[in-house]
Structure formats: structure tokens, C-alpha cells
Amino acid sequence: MSFAQDVKKEIANLTLTPEALKAEVYGLTKVKADLIISLNKLRFEFHTSSLFVARRLTFLFRKLYNISVDILAKEVTKLNYKKVYYVSISQKAEEILKDLDLIDDALQIKEEISSKYDQHFDALLRGMFIGRGSVNDPKKSNYHLELVCHYPCESDYIITRLEEYGIYAKRIARKKGLVIYIKKAEQIGDFLKLIGAANMLFYFENERIKRDLNNVVNRMLNCDIANSDRS
């Protein structure tokens, strides 16, 4: 399992208040769900290759809305026969989306992030990261964390709110959407702390300290070698 998956697994098992859970499911649904209207019936669904994400979605909707959730597992040849889990919500779909403040009365998607979750920004961010976030393992590659959004207003909101915590993110447009990214190690650590990934934050900081120490030692050795050559 990758470092990013370990982070998601940790934050997907946190015990939260009902208000925080709703903010999490809002963030997850905002970036991950597909809205489908068929035969005058509305439903929305998620697809993920992570079983624990599918379980988290099932838990959230059952706990908050007391509904049955349909789950289908399918092997995908393009992913080397990896299983992809489809989590479908058809029961009370319109009622749930309106309660979350994701659609209006005309069933149009609201692009802006709802202000009703301003007090639970950490939980909202947690849901968005579980849905479409990733972070590199500090032991194996460069420092990099990213979060994918659909709309400019979403990314503007996230970037602005992160600044309140001293986390300065940037944005770039790619095929998969608008990518918010952070490259500074200290700020990636602050992000992990914000979303509640305490154990993975400890691992991240431990590897960062080792890496920084090795860099300092290497620079000192190179300097000594250079001075010796001059002598």
C-alpha cells in the first residue's frame, strides 16, 4: 500500500461528530461523485479502487441518512485486473444531495463550496483528500501533495482557507482537473496535521528529518573534499 493510501486509510477511520461526518461526506461527494439521471430518476455513484474508501462511503451514508447502499466490484483489465468498487446511492438521492447543499431545486450542481461547512473545514478537506488527493512518500521521492477539484471557485476556496493555517498552495490545470499542490515539506506536514493523519504525520516528519540530516552531512563531506583538493 502506498503512503497516500496509508494516509487515507488513517483518516477514513477517525471517530467524528455527526456535523464533521456530514462535512466529510460533502467534500468526498463534491469531488468524487457522478450525478446520473435515468428514466426520470436521480442517483449518484462513486468508483474507487480502494476497498476501505468504499467501506467509508457505505458507513457515512448509512449512519447519516439510514439508507441502503449498493456496492458492485468489477475487475478492470486496464488496471491489471484490479478491482474497482462502484458505490451507488439511489435511495433518497435527491433529498441527500439537497441536504448536503450540492444541488439546487432545479437539480443543478452548485459549483461553489457551501458556506454551511465553514466551521468544519478540516473535515471537508479530509473528505476531498480521500476522494481525489495524493501525497508522495518522503522516503522515496520529492515532497509533493496534491488535491484535484472540478471548478475554479472550489480551488480558490481551498487555497484561501489553507492560507489561514499558514499553508500556501498553488494551482495548475491538467486533464484530470484543477490540481492544488504543495511542495514544501513543512507545509505538507501542516496539511497532514490539519486533516487528522497523526500517525502518518509522525512517519513523514521522521523521514524528513533523516533526509535533511543526510543532505547536510553530504554537503559537509563535499565541502571537506573540495578543501582537501585545493590544499
pLDDT digits (tens, 9 = 90+) for 175-190: 889 999 999 999 999 9
Predicted pLDDT at 52 = 87
Predicted pLDDT at 106 = 86
Is it the case that residue 209 has pLDDT exceeding 70? yes
CA distance readout (Å), 185 to 54, 87, 166: 30, 34, 13
Write out pLDDT tens, residues 77-88. 665 667 889 999
Is it the case that residue 225 has pLDDT exceeding 60? no
Predicted pLDDT at 217 = 46
Write out pLDDT tens, residues 146-167. 999 999 999 999 999 999 999 9
Least confident of 18-22, 60-64, 227-231: 227-231
**pLDDT class for 70, splitting at 50, 70, 90?**
confident
pLDDT averaged over every residue in the chain = 87
Task: Kindly state the average pLDDT of the residues 45-72.
Answer: 90
Q: How many CB atoms neighbour CB 94 within 10 A?
A: 15
Least confident of 67-71, 86-90, 211-215: 211-215
- Residue 12 near residue 52, CB atoms below 8 Å: yes
Residue 78 host element (H or E): none
Residues facing residue 75 across a β-bridge: 83
What grid cell was written down for 138? 518522503
Share of the chain above pLDDT 70, in %: 89
Q: How far apart are CA 73 and CA 137, in angstroms?
A: 28
Is it the case that residue 204 has pLDDT exceeding 80? yes
Closest CA to 146 of 114, 118, 188: 188
